[in-house]
Amino acid sequence: LSIKDALIHLYWWALDVKRDTIKEQTSLSSPNTLTDWNSFSRELAVNYSKGLPAIGGRNPDGTRKIVEIDETRLTLRKYHRGRQVSNGFWLVGGVERGKSDRFFFIRVKKRDKKTLWKTIRQFVLPGSHIMTDCWSGYGDLDTCRGKDYKHDVVIHKRHFVRPDNRLVHAQTIESMW
């Protein structure tokens, strides 16, 4: 496969374009080859996310970096339409606000408090200011096993940006899903 076709494939794959379109745009005419390249692309994405350094922490002036954390369930649809045909899987992600463009996404088996706290301790540095929605699994993050986190919550049933403090929201991570 030429580098040009490999890059075109990755581009269309990342945009979740239908297989037929990818076949038309590249020299990947064999269904088996296309399946192999789709699997390879998924493997690259997973391996990339595993090697990411932790995000957040404190700025040089001692202020806390803001990290938004959220979870989502990804499901599959047959031919990208109609009802869901798979139970899907859970992703937990975090994004550091500001100019750093640092983030993480990790697939988890469940989204319970134990799993979320383990993920946060692994990917978010102590000293961070964490923003989440009000799901109970995030409860008491300020005391997450001795880690120094500040935790603010936005209640999406009431508003998407807290009116008393416009900095408290999870819009950055929500838009990444």
Higher model confidence: residue 27 or residue 96?
Answer: 96
Arithmetic mean of pLDDT over the chain: 78
- Whether this prediction's pTM lies above 0.85 is answered by no
Higher model confidence: residue 79 or residue 124?
Answer: 124
pLDDT tens, 64-118? Answer: 999 989 888 877 666 666 665 556 778 888 999 887 778 888 888 888 888 888 8
pLDDT (0 to 100) of residue 38: 81
Q: What is the DSSP string of the chain?
A: --HHHHHHHHHHHHTT--HHHHHHHSS--SHHHHHHHHHHHHHHHHHHHHTPPPEE-B-TTSPBPEEEEEEEEE--BGGG-SSB-S--EEEEEEEE-SSS--EEEEEES---HHHHHHHHHHHEETT-EEEEES-GGGTTGGGGGG---EEEEE-TTT-SB-TT-TT-B-HHHHHH-
From CA 148, how far away is CA 133, in angstroms rounded? 19
pLDDT tens, 38-64? Answer: 888 877 776 666 666 788 999 999 999
pLDDT (0 to 100) of residue 39: 81
